[in-house]
Structures are given as structure tokens and as C-alpha cells.
Structure 1
Amino acid sequence: MITLFLLLTGLIAAVVGSLVGLGGGIIIVPMLIFLGIELNMLEGITPQTAIGTSSMVLVFIGLSSIISYNRSKQVDIKNGMYFIIGAIPGAFLGSYTSGLFTIDSMRIYFGLFIILVSFILIFRDKIKPSRMFQNEKYIKPHTDGKGEVHYYGFPPYIGIAGSFIAGFTSGLFGVGGGALMTPMMILLFLMPPSIAVGTSMFIVFFSSLGGAMGHMFQGNINYLYAAVLIPAAYIGAKIGVRINRKFSSDAIVTALRVVLLLLGLYMIVQGFS
């Protein structure tokens, strides 16, 4: 039964995460805490092991997504290289900062973070993209898999600073960083959503790698649970990419907004109870 729960968690988290560029940890971490701490169905789960194990799983979700998205040229690797300069050290630092969490404080802060993500998803389509970082010397073309050429760009130092913050949240909460980077790329760097989602998973891979290394050094990864989650997550990521290509993700995003908002409120209440 436990194996089935973990397989379903990995599959669903990866489908949703790769579909909208979130990564999937925003589902994996609460589920590990719920199964391990609240239901006592998993042994050895602490806030740190939930975060560390999620970071390890996200490495494979990111890898699977990169391979699939890159086939249709939805990954902007050139600009993505700037992002990983900030994301990797940010995630490594975040992984050590997560050691300060108690179970109650983790629930509260993670709950607040989830609510923030839900509001980002709610208002993402209502906020007009800003051209404040658009400068002719940074704007370059990117041709997608359909042959369409898109022009956008950003100052490298802004991309590095933004990805450092996203990477820090990745290591801190085990979420991959895509929750912050995807809207940042769309609203501030004017990337088309399809390219932003693919590039976000590129960042998720490297930020999760940095976070997983930090958590591995601290002994925060449960390799048994990760071994069950990873195959399901790898397959789920490929399914999410296929759904992204064939259908609009609007319905999924709408449902996800509500689920994340309720989940965030639940975790905050549990943290204070």
C-alpha cells in the first residue's frame, strides 16, 4: 500500500510539475510529511528528509522534462545558462538553511509559500508583462520547434539574481524553483509561455541537483523512498510534456490554484495546532 501511495505521488507530482513548469516538489513534500508524520505510514520522515528526498526526485523529473521539451526546442539553453549560475549556489545554501526548520515551523512557512504560488498562478494572466528589462543589446532570437522566431532578452545579472532566489527556495523547500522562475520569465523577461515552461524545467534540474547535493551531505535523503518515487516521476514528467504540447494547461492551472490554496491553509493550521 505504501509503495502504491508513493508511486501515485511521484506520478501526479511529475505530471503537474512538468505541465506548468513547477517541478513537482510542491506536491511531493506535503505528501511525504502527511504520510510520514501525520499518518505514521513512512518511517524516518522529518521536514529535512521530506525536502531532501523531494530534491533528489526533482533531479529526475527535470531530466525527463528537459529531454522531452528540448526535442521541440522549448528549452532556451543559452539564457538558461545564466539562470543556473544563480540557481545552483542558491539551492545549495537553501538546503543548509532548511536545517533550521522544526515540523511546525516548516508547515507554516511551506504553507505560506504554497499560498504565494497559488496567488502567482491566479494573477499570472492578469498581470501585464513588463518591458523594464528589455534592452536592444540583450534581445536575441529563439526559434521554437514550429519554426516561429521569438525575440526577448534580459540583463544577465538580473537573471542570475532572480534564479539565485528561486534556487534558494528550491533547496529550502524541495520544490525545484520553477514556481518562481516560470512567471518571472514570462512577465519580466517576456519569454513565450511554451519556452518558459521548458526552460523552467531546465532550471529545476540544476537547482534540484544543487539542493540534492547539499541535502545528501547532511544525510537528508531517504534513498528507499526516492527509489520508489523516481521511476514514477520520470514517466509522469513525460506524460506532462505530452499534455502540454497537445492541450491547453488552463484547466489544470485553474484546479491547481484551488488545491494549492487549500493545501497551504491546511499546513498553516496544522503548524499552529
Structure 2
Amino acid sequence: GGIASGLLGIGGGTVLVPVMCYALDFPIHFAIPTSMFIMIFTSMSGVFNHVQQGNVNALYAVYLGIGAVVGAQVGSYASRKLSSRNLSLVFAAMLIVSSINMILKNLHYI
């Protein structure tokens, strides 16, 4: 997760959650928050290095950070209301949508 976070900015959740669920047999309701907790450490390390390199737009970071805090609260509440099956489907759908979006935005490089 740490390499993926630092290199790609994906936070590790796209890697850690499936590994925890399928290789380690974590219930998804534990895998997602555990992944988020781990991301605190990988994110802080990556942020420190990217700030030193001048790669962070502070104004955007503040605005997006505020939205992220609100979204995290709403998402945490919603995840408690979803069954494991539905939470897994939502997680998979988000991965698929993100993947398709990245592919479409980069087709001109192929």
C-alpha cells in the first residue's frame, strides 16, 4: 500500500482492502476502516515528501480537505447502514468507475 500511495496517490485502499478481504479473510466492515487507519501513516509520509518537492497546491488541498472530512463522516455513517454484500458492491463499483475514468482520460497515450 505504501508504494502505491507514494507513487500513484491512490492511498492504498484500492490495494489493501481487496488483500485484506480475500487473502486475509477480513470482513469488509473491518477492512475499509483498517485500510483508512494504515493510510494515515502512508499519507503523512507521502505528503511530507511532496510538500518538500513543491508538488502541493495548498489552496486546493484545504478546499478538498474540507470536503474529504465531510465526505468521510457521511461515508462512515452510510457504511454502517449497508450489508457486507452491498458495501462490497459499492466498493467494487467505485473501483470500476475510477478505472474506466483513468483509462478514458489516458487513451490518447496508447
Q: TM-score, length-normalised on structure 2? A: 0.85
What residue is the counterpart of 1:268 in the other structure? 106
**Aligned length, in residue pairs:** 107
Alignment of 1:34-73 (within 5 A): none
Shift of 1:192: 1.8
Alignment of 1:131-146 (within 5 A): none
Among 50, 59, 65, the residue aligned to 1:215:
50
Corresponding position: 1:249 with 2:87: yes
What residue is the counterpart of 2:34 in the other structure? 199
1:220 counterpart SS class:
coil
Structure number with larger C-alpha Rg: 1
Quote the Cα distance in structure 1 between the aligned partners of 2:25 and 2:92.
22
What residue is the counterpart of 1:224 in the other structure? 59
Shift of 1:205: 1.3
Q: Which 5+ residue runs of structure 1 have no aligned equivalent?
A: 1-165
Quote the Cα distance in structure 2 between the aligned partners of 1:234 and 1:170.
19
Quote the Cα distance in structure 1 between the aligned partners of 2:61 and 2:103.
27
Quote the Cα distance in structure 2 between the aligned partners of 1:185 and 1:254.
14
Structure 1 counterpart of 2:98, one-letter code: L
Of structures 1 and 2, the one with the larger relative CO (CA 8 A, separation 6+) is 1
Say if 1:175 and 1:214 are closer, same or farther in 2 by CA, change over 3 A: same
What residue is the counterpart of 1:176 in the other structure? 11
The answer on whether the counterparts of 2:11 and 2:42 sit within 8 Å (CA) in structure 1 is: yes
What residue is the counterpart of 1:240 in the other structure? 75
Stretch moving more, 201-210 or 243-252:
243-252
Give the root-mean-square deviation of aligned CA atoms. Answer: 1.7
Runs of 4+ aligned structure 1 residues displaced above 3 Å come to: none
1:67-93 CA-partner distances (Å, limit 9, x unpaired): xxxxxxxxxxxxxxxxxxxxxxxxxxx
Shift of 1:249: 2.0
Say if 1:249 and 1:171 are closer, same or farther in 2 by CA, change over 3 A: same
Alignment of 1:96-175 (within 5 A): 166-175=1-10
The answer on whether the counterparts of 2:14 and 2:95 sit within 8 Å (CA) in structure 1 is: no
2:106 counterpart SS class:
helix
Sequence identity (%): 35
Quote the Cα distance in structure 2 between the aligned partners of 1:232 and 1:245.
20
Say if 1:190 and 1:249 are closer, same or farther in 2 by CA, change over 3 A: closer
Quote the Cα distance in structure 2 between the aligned partners of 1:254 and 1:218.
33
Q: TM-score, length-normalised on structure 1? A: 0.37
The answer on whether the counterparts of 1:176 and 1:205 sit within 8 Å (CA) in structure 2 is: no
